[in-house]
Structure 1
Amino acid sequence: MGVFTFTDEHTSSVPPVRLFKALIVDSHKLIPKLWPQAIKNIDILQGNGGPGTIKQINFVEGSQLGKMKNCVDELNEETFVYKHTMIDLKEKFEFIAYEVKFEPTPDEGSKNKMTSMYYTKGNVELKEEDIEAGKERALGMYKVAEAYLLQNPDAYA
């Protein structure tokens, strides 16, 4: 098994509390509404949203992925830290662990950092296109939610 770690960072004019509520706490309700061309729905299979919760993201018909499951490892609404693990993966990965941190900036916006740790099966080589596809999905959700929050200043305030 190999372990590959990648970090991405983005800044936003939206405060961390609003991004965290929209993208993390309420994502199962908000993201399918904002991104219906990609995500059909998000089901909570187990739990109440906190640690131990298992969510299944169901993608629209014709999508490469079909569905994926995430297990919530940590959800801290005071420090804006969220950790989850993508589980039940196919042949390439044992699992993929994510840590997302939203930090305030002096201009009342946020600095948002995501660390991804890919745990591969056997001698599987991690391809650049696998990493880029995951980054694009995450960034797509982030940008859609950010645009919604900028257009709706009272949402998740």
Structure 2
Amino acid sequence: MKGSKVHEHEADVPASDLWAIYGTLRAAELLPELLPHVLAKVEVVSGDGGVGTILQLTFPPGLPGLESYKEKFTKVDDESYIKEAQAIDGDILKLGFLSYMVRFEVIAKGPDSSVIRTTVEYEIDDAHPELEAMVSIAPLAATAEKFSEYAKEKKVITQAAS
């Protein structure tokens, strides 16, 4: 069974400022710092943030059946501001997901506004339909909100220092 879930977050931050986080390994550094209840640790296994980069994501204790998994960047488009990461190993696949991919799109709405569209696409083994309830866009929505706040705050600090 295939499915997808989408979330959009409007931000009063330029798309280029958000992409400076989403399109780089800065996102991996910020996630455990800004959202420790979502991800306890993110380690770069290999790569420089481009296509082929592999990350090890470790969840905080208390999520049944989910300790960690590895994802690989399969698309990093610096012109269209799109990044895709595919689960390649770990607990998500062991639970019965046949595939699990997250797409981040940063869409410019104006010079100082944008939309972060996050999509989770997944395929579940037909023997485990209950897994669909585990697919949650909420952590990615919280990430979009925190990254927007961080980018806005950083810009204010940079402008104040100039």
TM-score, normalization by structure 1? 0.83
| Change in CA separation of 1:156 and 1:92 when aligned onto 2, cut-off 3 Å | farther
TM-score, normalization by structure 2? 0.81
Residues 57-66 or 94-103, more deviating: 57-66
Q: Which residue of 2 aligns with 1:69?
A: 70
Aligned pairs for 1:1-157 within 5 A:
2-25=1-24, 26-64=26-64, 65-88=66-89, 89-106=93-110, 108-125=112-129, 129-131=133-135, 134-153=136-155
Aligned-pair identity (%): 20
Instruction: Confirm or deny: 8 A CA contact 1:10 1:111 kept in the other structure.
Output: yes
Q: Deviations over 1:75-132 (max 9, x none)?
A: 112221111112322232012122221111135210222222111123432556323x
**Match of 2:42, as an amino acid?**
I
Instruction: Confirm or deny: 8 A CA contact 2:96 2:131 kept in the other structure.
Output: no
**Match of 2:71, as an amino acid?**
N
Distance in 1 (alpha carbons) for counterparts of 2:53 and 2:147: 22
Instruction: Confirm or deny: 8 A CA contact 2:9 2:144 kept in the other structure.
Output: no
1:146 CA drift (Å): 1.5
1:37 CA drift (Å): 4.0
| Change in CA separation of 1:57 and 1:155 when aligned onto 2, cut-off 3 Å | farther
Q: Mark the runs of 5 or more structure 2 residues left unpaired by the alignment.
A: none
1:152 partner SS? helix
Give the structure with the larger helix fraction. Answer: 2
Distance in 2 (alpha carbons) for counterparts of 1:81 and 1:5: 17
| Change in CA separation of 1:103 and 1:93 when aligned onto 2, cut-off 3 Å | same
Aligned residues: 154
RMSD across aligned C-alpha pairs, in angstroms? 2.4
| Change in CA separation of 1:95 and 1:115 when aligned onto 2, cut-off 3 Å | same
